[in-house]
Amino acid sequence: LPREPMITKNMEKLIHDQLDESQAITVLRHVLFEMCLLGTGILKGPFTYDKTLHKWQKDFDTGESVYTPQDKSVPRVEAVSCWDFYPDPDAVNIQDADYVIQRHVMNRSQVRDLANRPYFRKSAIIDLLENGPNYETRSYETALYDRENQEEFNKNRYEILEYWGTMDKDFVEETGIDIPTDLKTELDEVQINAWICNGHILRLVLNPFTPARIPFMIAPYEINPYQFFGVGIPENMDDAQTIMNGHARMAIDNLAL
């Protein structure tokens, strides 16, 4: 094959391999499910994560296999539930949103693993773990998770809020973050990413994307031009289904008479 088609074919194979490794099919199925059911699907990313490749190499001196792990940067996408996504209330689409907040519900192991990710404050994570879980159940979760007793649900969990949006430049400088020189002269506010839990700042960095953007993609089933969230299939067919239910009841009543 000529050189350019070969490069294109190899790149296509690499993209498919990365999608398979990141379980993108499962993630997209979740996004499409909520898009149809609730009216809006939310996809987050892509982000770069460090993945450990487990490898063993044979030691020629001893003849034994030696474990030699290797870290590799891989892309990953994430499906965000509508129940955990809180956009700017004045926005009608993601481009108009001044900020968004994502709610994470994590156990102790997941919170501890945050310390291995870039720019997370290990001291704040340790203090958070020492203070114990802080999750408070919501009223809607009884019906959402189909549980009769909600009192003991998610008691041993941490609620972490992830903020993507703007912050005043002077306030960011007070936190100790180094702002590039070009941003100091041009902007009064900057885009940041912050992770907060129970009064602890777990992560506070400038938006890593160039150009700065909020890394969420919103897919409404049917666009509502005056609201952020779209209209799903159940809401679309509600009127027609109500009419059909009325006719069915009428036929049963007439049959009984």
Between vectors from CA 120 to CA 117 and to CA 124, what angle results, nearest 5°?
A: 135
More confident residue, 208 or 179: 208
- pLDDT of 177 strictly over 90: no
* Residue 186: pLDDT band with limits 50, 70, 90: low
| Structure tokens, 133 | 């879980």
pLDDT digits over 22-49, tens only?
Answer: 888 999 999 999 999 999 999 998 888 8
Whole-angstrom Cα distance, residue 8 to residue 253? 66
Sorting pLDDT into bands at 50, 70 and 90, what band is 147? low
Share of the chain above pLDDT 70, in %: 93
The pLDDT score that the predictor gives to residue 79 is 94
What tokens does 59 get?
């030691």
Decide: 232 and 39 in contact? Cβ < 8 Å: yes
- Residue 75: per-residue pLDDT: 85
- What's the whole-model pTM score? 0.80
Here the tokens at position 209 are 């994307």
- Residue 153 scores a pLDDT above 60: no
Q: Greatest CA separation found in the chain?
A: 93
Residue 180 clears pLDDT 80, i.e. is over it? no
Query: What DSSP designation does 231 have?
Result: B
CA distance 213 to 216: 9
| pLDDT over 90, % of the chain | 45
Q: Is 196 exposed, middle or buried (0-12, 13-18, 19+ CB in 10 A)?
A: middle
DSSP label of 178: P
Listed as own residue / partner, the contacts of 131-135 with beta carbons closer than 8 Å and 24 or more positions apart are 131/198, 133/108, 133/157, 133/158, 134/158, 134/159, 134/197, 134/198, 135/105, 135/159
Are the beta carbons of 154 and 103 closer than 8 angstroms?
Answer: no
Q: What is the 3-state secondary structure (H, E, C) of 46-74?
A: EEEEEEEECCEEECCCCCCEEECCEEEEE
pLDDT score of 59 = 78
Tokens of 113: 């693993």
Residue with structure tokens 């009884």? 142
Residue 149, token pair as written in the block: 């007793």
